[in-house]
Amino acid sequence: MKLFLDTADIDSIRRAGATGLLDGVTTNPSHVAKAGRVFEEVIEEICSLVPDHVSVEAVADSTEGLVTEARRLVSIGRQVVIKIPMSRDGLRAVPILEREHRIRTNVTMVFSPTQALLAMKAGASFVSIVLSRLENVAIESDRLIDDTMTIKRQYGFASEIIAGSLKTQPTLLYCLRAGVDIATIPEDLFNLLFQHPLTEMGLAQFARDWAQVRKRQ
C-alpha cells in the first residue's frame, strides 16, 4: 500500500518525507486555505518535496472549465494529479484529460460502489473514497471498500483505489486486508504507525541491559 499525507502543511510534509516512507500528498481547497498563502505557491512548494504524486483540486462548473483548470494546474509541476469531482461533468472531463492530454486524474467524493464503477469506467487513474465523511455520519465503510475492490478485480479496471482521509489504525488495517492501493492519512496517524508499547518497552529494556554491559568493560 502507498501512503499519502492528506494536508497542505509544508512542515508536516517535510517531516513525513524525511522518513523515506511517504509516497505522495493529497490536498483540497480547505487544506490550502488553512495554509494562508497563495494557492500556486503552496502547490509549487509541495511539488518540490514530493517526487511523484500531488493531488490538486480542479474547481469549475463544467467539463470545459475542469479541463481548462486542469491544464493550468499541471503546469505547476509534473507531479500534479488533478482531483475531479464525482459528477456528470467531472466524469466527462476524465477521458479528455487522461487520453487527449495525458493528465492523470483522481475522481473524488466517491461514496458508493456504483460511483466507483463509473469513475473506473471513465478511465480515472485514481478513485478516492472519502471514508472519514462516511464514518462521521455513522455509515460503516468496510462494505464499500470490499465492494469497490471486488468490482475492480472482477472487471480488471486499472484505476488505483484511494481510501481517503483515514483517521484510525483499525480502518487503515481493514483497507490493508482488502488490498486497497493507497491510503491518505494525517500526520498524527502517520506518526502513530511507528509506535507500539511493546516496542518501546523492549527498546527501553535493551538500553538498560546495554548500560549494564558497558559498566563491566
Other Cβ atoms closer than 10 A to 93:
29
2-33 per-position pLDDT tens digit:
999 999 999 999 999 999 999 999 998 888 88
Q: What's the pLDDT at 139?
A: 63
Question: What confidence category does residue 180 fall into, taking pLDDT thresholds of 50, 70 and 90?
Answer: very high
- Identify the band that residue 214 occupies on the pLDDT scale cut at 50, 70 and 90: confident
Judge residue 159's burial from the number of C-beta atoms within 10 Å of its C-beta, 0-12 exposed, 13-18 middle, 19 or more buried. buried
pLDDT of residue 154: 98
Question: 16 and 41 in contact (C-beta within 8 Å)?
Answer: no
Share of the chain above pLDDT 90, in %: 82
Catalytic one of 2, 34, 83, 167 = 83
For residues 86 and 124, the answer to whether their CB atoms sit within 8 Å is: no
Contact call for residues 124 and 107 (beta carbons, < 8 A): yes
We report the CATH number of the domain holding residue 40 as 3.20.20.70
Give the mean pLDDT of 171-193: 97
pLDDT value of position 177? 97
2 is catalytic: no
pLDDT band at 211 (very low <50, low <70, confident <90, very high): confident
Give the Å distances, CA to CA, from 142 to 120, 137, 174.
19, 14, 7
- 52-74: pLDDT as tens digits: 999 999 999 999 999 999 999 99
pLDDT score of 141: 80
* Domains identified in the chain, total number: 1
d(CA 47, CA 79): 6
Mean residue pLDDT of the chain comes to 94
163-181 as b/e: b if 16+ CB within 10 A = bbbbbeeebbebbeebebb
Enter the C-alpha cell of residue 204. 527501553
Range of the domain at 132: 2-215
Note the pTM of the prediction, 2 decimals.
0.92
pLDDT in tens, 87-137: 999 999 999 999 999 999 999 999 999 999 999 999 999 999 988 766 665
The whole-angstrom separation of Cα 41 and Cα 156 is 38
